[in-house]
């Protein structure tokens, strides 16, 4: 069904029927429920804090012995929060937190080369997002600290991190 056909269908429905359909969608689809729960009661700080806890648990697990280091967990939250329309400042904070916690982990443990490439992708995404949202003045220091740690820890893709920074300068 096209968007135009959907609009015509919605406009043709009596108000009561439209209300029933919305309630049915809310009850049937968890994504719709989550969206409306967020729209009417956006506990953004709580959602971000939960995401930070899960991301930190990937690197410094509480219940298991080995770290999983899955970037996909952070990406899942970031993508989800982008869809929900979480406040950009909070989302940028989460993006940078993901890199910072990974850097803390890599300073203590040996990591594979794929880890560095993955963190470069996260850094690129975060810097572009911060720049596009006009938040660079707020996050410039954190971005610089992340970049300095890349240099200190002698990451093999240091020059690529530098190239990412050159894009926004």
pLDDT at residue 102, as a whole number: 94
What is the spatial distance between Cα 43 and Cα 51, in angstroms, rounded to a whole number?
13
Angle made by CA atoms 58, 56, 32, in degrees to the nearest 5 = 85
Query: pLDDT category, 66, cuts 50, 70, 90?
Result: confident
Domain segments of the chain as ranges? 1-41, 43-168
Please give the DSSP secondary-structure letter assigned to residue 157: T
pLDDT for residue 169 is more than 80? no
Determine the length of the chain.
169
For residue 84, pLDDT beyond 90: no
For residue 85, the SS3 value is: coil
Whether residue 41 has pLDDT greater than 80 = no
- Three-state DSSP at 108 gives helix
The pLDDT of residue 48 is 92
Is residue 162 helix, strand or coil? helix
Tokens of 1: 């069904």
User: Residue 134: which residues within 8 A CB-CB, separation 6 or more?
Assistant: none
């Amino acid at each position: 069904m096209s968007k135009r056909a959907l609009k015509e269908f919605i406009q043709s429905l009596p108000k009561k029927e439209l209300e029933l359909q919305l309630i049915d969608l809310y009850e049937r689809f968890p994504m719709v429920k989550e969206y409306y729960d967020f729209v009417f009661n956006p506990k953004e700080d709580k959602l971000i804090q939960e995401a930070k806890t899960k991301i930190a648990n990937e690197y410094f697990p509480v219940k298991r012995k080995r770290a999983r280091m899955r970037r996909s967990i952070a990406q899942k939250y970031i993508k989800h929060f982008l869809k929900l329309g979480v406040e950009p400042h909070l989302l940028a904070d989460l993006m940078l937190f993901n890199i910072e916690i990974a850097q803390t982990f890599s300073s203590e443990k040996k990591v594979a080369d794929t880890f560095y490439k993955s963190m470069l992708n996260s850094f690129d995404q975060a810097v572009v997002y911060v720049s596009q949202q006009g938040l660079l003045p707020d996050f410039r220091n954190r971005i610089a600290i992340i970049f300095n740690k890349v240099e200190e820890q002698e990451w093999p893709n240091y020059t690529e991190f530098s190239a990412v920074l050159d894009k926004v300068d």
